[in-house]
Structure 1
Amino acid sequence: MSKNNKAYIGISFIILIFGIWAIPKIVAKFQKSDLPVIGPVPQFELTDQDGKKISNKDYLGKVYVVEFFFTTCPTICPVMNQNMLKLQDAFYGNPDFGIASISINPEYDTPQILKEHAKELGAKHYNWHFLTGDKQYIHNLAVKGFNLYAGENSKVPGGFEHSGLFALVDKDGMIRSRKDSYGNPITYYDGLEESGVEAIKEDIKELLEE
């Protein structure tokens, strides 16, 4: 056997071994993760801090997180926003990641107020939209669309109360979540605790690879 033939066989063997090693990794990258599908994200169209109309369709092709908050909230919203900042920092510069922060007090939270709030907060990701619109529309979106409580209550600090949960949406516009220790989908992530932030961060990475 000539030296050229031996070299050819040697190279072919290396390519074969590499292929056997690499194929599972390539396949895994394009496989769906095991995060359960909860259902389609509710359709919405709202106005962001730059006065631009933003809908759920603008987020297609992106993995994004949804929260309901308001800028004058004296209780849980600052914690939620700070935890969103952690997600922004973890995926900063990734065009396939986004955030939708929807105000439940839109009569006060105009685009200008939201723009100032975003600046003070340090929100810099170009896919982080602070959204406002009609109050009843937004409350219906939260309660009937996402099944997350939001409403007015004059007896609580700030005059509004709402859920402290984050919703995770995949590139196809489907709400996804991990399972609990009993094998049931948690549906939403705790936006107030570090454990919830770390969990959603891990699952965002997983969905970005789908």
Structure 2
Amino acid sequence: MKSILVLFSVLLFSACSRNEIRLPILGNAEVIGNDTVYQTIKPFSFTDQRSEPVTNDTFKGKVYVADFIFLSCPTICPKMTVEMKKVYDAYQMDNDVLFLSHTIDPDHDTISKLKKHSDQLNIDPEKWRFVTGEKEAIYSIATNSYFATAYSDRKAPGGYVHSGGLLLIDKNRHIRGVYDGTNAEETKRLISDLEILLREQFPERADK
């Protein structure tokens, strides 16, 4: 009987330990009264590869992974898309996870080009949105919400400078992780962290 109780205690401790693992909330935080208010992704309005509007409400109640790319990028973007696709493939059938790629070259990355790119990846456009919009709005949200770099520079390869990160966003619009989008090991870490975040955000998943 004693050994059974010990085993039960060990299993209970292990289960509690797993459920208590939490990812940090990244960004600036402000203490207001007894509450800590964390930085969130600011409101946005863009257009996706199907000419459909995409806003914060598109991702309401969902966890999502975001990045910033451009289709004619001669350097890191193709690798970033490969790594993002790995995460997409892992969660393709998971209704709690979505994906968002912003073009930083809206002058050339037209909706038709974004759709063609999306079709070539053979992805569900409801699941993975490729969005365009006003250039300054894209650059602003990259800098002010996602800790990302995005701006035009004629001296840079392809004419643009941008961050190569994949960003993990929770259903409260907090950034919970930033990962090198050109590194396969970082992609594995992202997938692992996604599991942790999903158990936190959707407690019913922890029992499965």
TM-score, with length taken from structure 1: 0.79
* Aligned AA (1:105): D
Q: How does 1:113-152 map to 2 (within 5 A)?
A: 113-124=113-124, 126-152=126-152
Which of 182, 199, 204 pairs up with 1:209? 199
Q: 2 CA distance for matches of 1:33 and 1:74? A: 39
Query: Across the two proteins, how many residue pairs are aligned to each other?
Result: 185
* 1:25, distance to aligned residue in structure 2 (A): 7.8
Q: 1 CA distance for matches of 2:126 and 2:73? A: 24
Q: 2 CA distance for matches of 1:56 and 1:22? A: 40
Deviations 1:83-111 (A, max 9, x none): 11100111111111111100001111122
Which of 2, 22, 25 pairs up with 1:34? 22
5+ residue gaps, structure 1:
1-18, 178-187
Deviations 1:128-157 (A, max 9, x none): 100100011111111222221111111122
5+ residue gaps, structure 2:
1-7, 27-38, 201-208
Q: 2 CA distance for matches of 1:197 and 1:49? A: 25
* Aligned AA (1:37): I
Runs of 4+ with deviation above 2 angstroms: 19-29, 121-126
Counterpart of 1:174 in structure 2 is 174
* Identity score, percent: 34
Q: What secondary structure, in the 3-state scheme, does the structure 2 residue paired with 1:137 have? A: helix
Deviations 1:62-96 (A, max 9, x none): 11111000111111100000111100111111111
Contact 1:93–1:125 (CA under 8 A) maintained in structure 2: no
Contact 1:92–1:125 (CA under 8 A) maintained in structure 2: no
* Aligned AA (1:143): T
* 1:45, distance to aligned residue in structure 2 (A): 1.5
* Aligned AA (1:35): L
Which of 165, 189, 196 pairs up with 1:199? 189
Q: How does 1:81-100 map to 2 (within 5 A)?
A: 81-100=81-100
Counterpart of 1:74 in structure 2 is 74
* Aligned AA (2:197): L
Counterpart of 1:154 in structure 2 is 154
* Aligned AA (2:23): L
- The Cα RMSD (Å) is 2.4
Q: 2 CA distance for matches of 1:137 and 1:85? A: 25
Q: Structure 1 pair 78/26, CA: closer, same or farther in 2 (3 Å)? A: same
* Aligned AA (2:166): F
Q: What secondary structure, in the 3-state scheme, does the structure 1 residue paired with 2:186 have? A: helix
TM-score, with length taken from structure 2: 0.79
Q: 2 CA distance for matches of 1:79 and 1:136? A: 25
* 1:28, distance to aligned residue in structure 2 (A): 6.9
Deviations 1:146-177 (A, max 9, x none): 22111111112211110001111112221113
